[in-house]
A and B are shown apart, each in its own frame.
Chain A
Amino acid sequence: MAFEKVLTKDKNLPESRKLSYYEKVGGYRAWQKVLKTMDPEGVIDLVKDAKLRGRGGAGFSTGMKWGFVPKDTEKPHYMLVNADESEPGTFKDRLLMDAMPHSTIEGAMIGSFAIRANTCYIYIRGEFVHEAKVLEVAIAECYDKGYLGKNIFGSGFDLDMYVHRGAGAYICGEETGLIESLEGKRGWPRIKPPFPAIEGVFRCPTIVNNVETLACVPYIVENGADWFKSIGPESGPGPKLYCISGHVKRPGVYEAAMGLPLKELIYDYAGGILDDKKVKAVIPGGSSVPVLTADELDVNMDFDALAAVGSMLGSAGCIVMDEDTCMVDTILNITHFYRHESCGQCTPCREGTTWAEKVLKKIKSGNGTMRDIDLLYEMSGNIGTRTICPLGDAAAMPIESFVRKFRHEFEAYVKKEVA
């Protein structure tokens, strides 16, 4: 069955930002259907049945996550939209929010209903000034139309939605860092448990969902779980936005079914490698995931297939490197990013990322030794899995995979074979 675009089908800037346009293409029918005909458990079951998995990186079942919110608590519940898209190589949520803000908003409304939240915050990356404005306008339209506010369509359900702009930290895209930041504190991720579903923002039950995840929800409500499951692999189906950047002819965001063959993404969608050079390496899921070599590209872009080859789908931010790319340079750049973005709370990440960057600079300057390469590799093991949040892993996995798979390039610097 040929794939038909879902999330970006009606992208038609600037018209598609407007509520009137979104309604014309079927928008907010799902929201009304939910309010008029469904109960929260029904929504959760539907999303569970559709096997929707989080698009933010971890790939956890969205319906199951919603189901963790306790039903017997007196505390208010909160729905948080994670729009802090900051993973290098990732720019899909930005496109969605700019071109189709209402699909995310509608998904957030349905999610709020499912978890019985009367307040929803969209935590948006501080640099996304334009997108924040687009969302503000879209939310105002929804209040005017009665999709938000008190007693929506006489259902008795109240919902308020706010846009909250971040202050420029990558770590605030980690859900508990986001929660702390939303509370007005330093973006220091929390220890889990308690998980946010039990104790999140303001110590109340909270669900944090990625923009793209929520954007899928109205379509599931409209078209049913079976329709959703008919797209892509059984274990994690649905339409998917792929970001592709680096040495390709047509970088950008492409929508296809989950499980798109990586080579198809590179050679068909993105038009192949610039100047028709050979590909050397690909980072398939944003800069934090292990790199794939040219020999490992026969893989589908989905959670399980990429996990099977030792990498991750992550945020589906695919970074393509051609045969002339210096891998030492690349990992130095990536490590610099994680060093800069480490919140500094956990010892291994705070100290390790800094040390790793220094060692990489030393190697790159031609003053490195073989021992430095081993040290770097060992250090990645001492950072990964040893921290509160996954930033430690995010910093460690690329280092580990670059050194393991491209060790000869590091050695070339040590042996002064590189100018």
Chain B
Amino acid sequence: MALIKIDGHELEVENGTTILEAAKSLEKEIPHYCYHPGMTIVASCRMCLVKVEGMPKLTPACSTRIGEMPPQRKVDGKYDMVISTEEQTVKDAQESVLEFLLLNHPVDCPECDQAGECLLQDYSYKYGKDRSRFEFDKRVPPRKDLGPNMMLIGTRCILCSRCVRFTQEISGTNELMVRQRGYDSQIDLFPGQSLDNKMSMNTADVCPVGALVTKDFLFKPRNWRYENTRSVCPGCSVGCNINIESLEEDNKIYRIKPEENQAVNQWWMCDDGRLLYHTYAKLNRLEHPMIRKGDELARHPWRMTLKAAVSKLKSFNAGEVAVIGSGYATNEENYLLQKVAREGFGAKHVAINDNFPKADDIVYKQFTIKGEKLPNFQGASDMLNSKDTLSDILKAIDKGTVKALYWLGGCPEDTLSEAQLDTLKQLDYLVVQDIRESALSSIADVVLPGASAYEKDGTFTNYQGQVQRIRPAILPPKAAKTDLEILQEIVNLLDMPKVLSPLKVFGEIAGTVDGYAGMSYKALANTGIKKGEGATATETAG
């Protein structure tokens, strides 16, 4: 351990800590561009220069490591390093680096998509000059189409090289480089390359300015207008932490970006997950509860629909009712579903739908996109606590032992075959709780419109067993409700003990499901807890 002083504040740090990290732990900002905690330190932007007592020159905070000094080299007899981030020489250096960076910058903030989340903008306000002394023609590197999702607006680039390092160190795909030298340096693709890897949009995140922009976020409303919701990507079983940007006025999602979670996705996410909200937005959503009248499904009020479904399901003999849980639904929903099935309807068959095409993992240098696409297959399996799968249920239907089925869906695409649908048609009664119109919903006796992962509260458990919170960014369409709300109403109709919220359901899960003991929403916080570590995590959280 080393004892240091930063701007008068004493601090003990591990040997090898950088000045930047030490300052961060004091919530002291040292401005920087090229440094990114996930990539090699290059110390080339020179924005983070600070004064260290005893060093003749200003030194970059990002690359200068603190170490314990022998007694005779300690400052004031006790400090291993004394740092100033605020003295005039440091301020002068910051101002001059910003001046250099802005010389050739077009300052096209009014039309730049990065405005509002641009470090050049932010630091210029905080540390820069209020006018330019540059009176020559600006450098105009070209605008480039880099690949299906990415654009480079070269004029805005400050050559921090983060994007190049991303393709070298994280994706390992090496499409980008700095070409030419000195003043003529510019970011470019290697000849014949396209920035078309599935991690490409992370380069826009790491770009501290508006040079690398995603085509998806061109000309959209300004970033400060959005509601921000921290959640988990429903694109695959990795469960990347995300921030969803949405507008209340039109109940739409405009952008999804990764949030840091060292246990899950570090700082990254794949382009598929980032753009998945478009898939959901285009779905032909189920928007009203419906009951079959002959060949037609007709809209009915919620209460009437649910009463009809519950009384019908209760009319079957115990064991004739089966339920299908979903890897697209939350832990809370699956838990309540099996509880309703077992305690309310006396169902013996509780199964998970595993009828999905298997894909291979896509492995990048430091990131893997899972082939298992269901975001909560692990959690749903834990909650349903059953060995049965869809094929077991289909067999039971064929045998005639299962006559009524409650289906919890949520998948954005069709995966049932004609043969499977034919089997399901043999049922006496089929309740489909799902998000989209499908071949399945068209053969249902009762349709209950549910919600997508972007529209509800709860938890997902990723493939590694990390239990994480998902949160609603937008509302389900029209009369649709979250699946938990629907199940809660069924609980009420069945005169079972009420559970009022996802939080309360999760409390029950923590008390009953293996591996979830000791967990709570409070303890999960933003980054979640690994299965089996709930008790320890809660203790540490105090």
Chain A contact residues, CB within 8 Å of chain B? 169, 186, 188, 191, 339-348, 350-355, 358, 362, 375, 382, 385-388
Contacts and interface: CB of A to CB of B under 8 A. Distances in A.
Q: Is the interface of B mostly helix, strand, loop or mixed?
A: loop
Contact of A348 (B43, B97, B185): B97
B182 A341 contact: yes
Given A382-B100, A386-B49, A388-B44, A351 B183 contact: yes
11 contacts: A344-B178, A344-B183, A347-B47, A347-B159, A351-B104, A351-B183, A352-B100, A354-B103, A382-B92, A385-B56, A386-B96
Contacts of A385: 56-58
Given A191-B63, A385-B57, A386-B46, A350 B183 contact: yes
Contacts of B104: 351
Nearest to A358: B136
Q: Pick the most buried of B47, B60, B100, B159: most chain A CB atoms within 10 A of its CB.
A: B100
Interface size grouping (class) on chain B: 35 or more
Contacts of A341: 182
Contact of A191 (B41, B58, B133): B41
Given A348-B97, A348-B100, A375 B178 contact: no
Contacts of B180: 344
B97 A386 contact: yes
B209 to A, nearest CB: 13
B93 interface: yes
Interface in B167-217: 178, 180-185
B181 A342 contact: yes
A350 B178 contact: no
B42 interface: yes
A351 B185 CA distance: 11
B100 A347 contact: yes
Contacts, number: 86
A351 B46 contact: no
A348 B96 contact: yes
Contacts of A353: 182-183
Contact of A350 (B99, B134, B136, B159): B159
A176 B101 CA distance: 25
Given A347-B45, A348-B97, A186 B182 contact: no
Nearest to B47: A347
A345 B182 CA distance: 7
B158 A347 contact: yes
Contacts of A354: 103, 182-183
Contacts of B101: 347, 351
A229 B180 CA distance: 46
A348 B57 contact: no
Contacts of A355: 100, 103, 134, 136
A342 B182 contact: yes
Contacts of B41: 191
Nearest to B45: A347
Contacts of B63: 191
Given A347-B44, A355-B100, 20 more contacts: A191-B42, A191-B63, A339-B183, A343-B181, A344-B178, A344-B181, A344-B182, A344-B184, A345-B159, A347-B45, A347-B47, A347-B101, A348-B46, A350-B182, A355-B134, A355-B136, A382-B93, A385-B58, A386-B57, A386-B58
Contacts of B182: 339-344, 350, 353-354
A339 B185 CA distance: 12
A388 B45 CA distance: 10
A374 to B, nearest CB: 10
Interface string B297-333: 0000000000000000000000000000000000000
